[in-house]
Amino acid sequence: MTVERGDLVALTATEAARRIRARSLTSVQLVTACLERIKERDPDLQAWVEVGAEPALAEAAVRDATPPQGALHGVPVGIKDNADAVPFFTRFGSPIYRNNKPRRDAAHVAKLRVEGAVILGKTVTTEFATFPPGPTRNPRAPGRTPGGSSSGSAAALADHHVPLASGSQTVSSLVRPAAFCGVYGWKASFGRLPLEGMLATSDTLDTLGFLARSVDDFLLLHEIFLGELPAPPAPTNLRVGLHAGPTSNEWHPEMQGLLARAGEELRQAGLSVVDVDPLPFSVDAGIERQWQIMTHEIAALLAPRIHGEESQVTAALLDMLEEGRRVSEKTYVQAMEGRESDRAALAGVWADCDLLLTPAALGPATPGLATTGNGLCGRLWSYLAVPSVACPMGATEAENLPLGLQTIGPEGQDGATLQATKIIAGIVGSPFAP
């Protein structure tokens, strides 16, 4: 079933909300279109753990019968299955929790409902939102991974099942799936969006975010969760720093070319573009500290959840827990101290640029479904607690596979980062229409 630009399932969340407010579209019509798309496509894609057709249609009917009030009135939304959303199960990507039914919504789900959203169901996450993959395929290339851990949300967006879905990131769990599936992903600054009612894997790194088909949808979400946006900058006043990303022998040859092309297009549009490489601290040391912090905290937080049920957990997760146990308290404290030093050093970068533009992944989606791909490009920015926005700005020449870049902004400046990202995304463009 081919999706055309005018189809209801191709709408962005912002446009859907506008049409529902204008009464040119009903929530029932949109939810029905999404459910039909899911029924047609998801048996092969497997982006959803659970879809609540009856409760979603009932909720949509209520929205249509009441005056629009919230910013997402009548808009269907998918929720990553590491967060509670009544009446659905919260399974965390593990058979241990297959019967886990929450009594209340996670904080962000409750807020989405207040704004009028219709919760369509739960999207697939990897095992406990870590690395072992779930069953989801990449809709752009079914033989390749959709990324992880927000795999179901990214695939559902890319395949036009729903206009908006939640995600989370501890390493690269939003930006990598967004890049691999050719959609947009916003990882908020650490601590800016509520985590209550969500699986905790790392107290220092876990961050809520969303996947969408336009930056405008993130601007709308910012207003919902964080309040009024700053005024957008004049494009010619915007200073963009190009950062080639962490050192790696695995770069796809077209990725660095995409970054260079984007920089040149921004220069031609009158923006100030500078190279920011190297960063004013050791990237390799920061990435190592991120791993020490994450594994140490994952071992502390997940071990109690699987105690006595180890036979139902993958060997890969058990190995990670064991690795985390080997990180001594002294090493952990030193890593946390180094992190604070690196965050302070990064703050100095913003004297010369307003945001960074850097790859969101090493290249296109990794072949096969046995791995979610290399998360190197997200690890540093999760570690540094800054906002990042993945954008599908390119594609491989031979197979038209998505290539994603991400913008990085100062910590806590999500609104300004999103406003600047909209400008950059508008100039560079995307080969993948909503």
List phi, psi (to 5°) of 401: -90, 140
Over range 222-239, report the average pLDDT: 97
pLDDT in tens, 395-419: 999 999 999 999 999 999 999 999 9
pLDDT of 413 reads 98
Residue 1 clears pLDDT 60, i.e. is over it: no
CA distance 222 to 389: 13
Of 27, 94, 149, 168, which one is the catalytic site residue?
149
pTM to 2 decimal places: 0.97
pLDDT of 5 reads 64
pLDDT of 279 reads 97
Residues forming beta bridges with residue 144, ordered by sequence position: 367, 368
Query: Is 356:378 a contact under the CB 8 Å cutoff?
Result: no
Burial (CB < 10 A; 0-12, 13-18, 19+), residue 200, is middle
Q: What are the b/e assignments for 23-37, b being 16+ CB within 10 Å?
A: eebbbbbbbbbbbeb
Which helix (H) or strand (E) segment holds residue 13: the answer is helix 13-21
Of 168, 172, 173, 214, which one is the catalytic site residue?
173
Over range 288-302, report the average pLDDT: 98
pLDDT in tens, 54-113: 999 999 999 999 999 899 999 999 999 999 999 999 999 999 999 999 999 999 999 999
Asked if 149 is an active-site residue, the reply is yes
Which helix (H) or strand (E) segment holds residue 406: the answer is strand 402-408
| CA 332 to the chain's CA centroid | 27
Q: With bands split at pLDDT 50, 70 and 90, how would you rate the model's confidence at 374?
A: very high
Asked if 173 is an active-site residue, the reply is yes
pLDDT in tens, 302-356: 999 999 999 999 999 999 999 999 999 999 999 999 999 999 999 999 999 999 9
CA distance 48 to 434: 20
Quote the tokens at residue 239. Answer: 């200073």
Asked if 330 is an active-site residue, the reply is no
Q: With bands split at pLDDT 50, 70 and 90, how would you rate the model's confidence at 178?
A: very high
Residues forming beta bridges with residue 209, ordered by sequence position: 167, 187
pLDDT of 39 reads 98
Of 27, 80, 94, 168, which one is the catalytic site residue?
80
pLDDT of 434 reads 75
Which helix (H) or strand (E) segment holds residue 242: the answer is strand 239-242
pLDDT of 135 reads 97
CA distances from 31 to 20, 241, 269, 295 (A): 12, 41, 40, 40
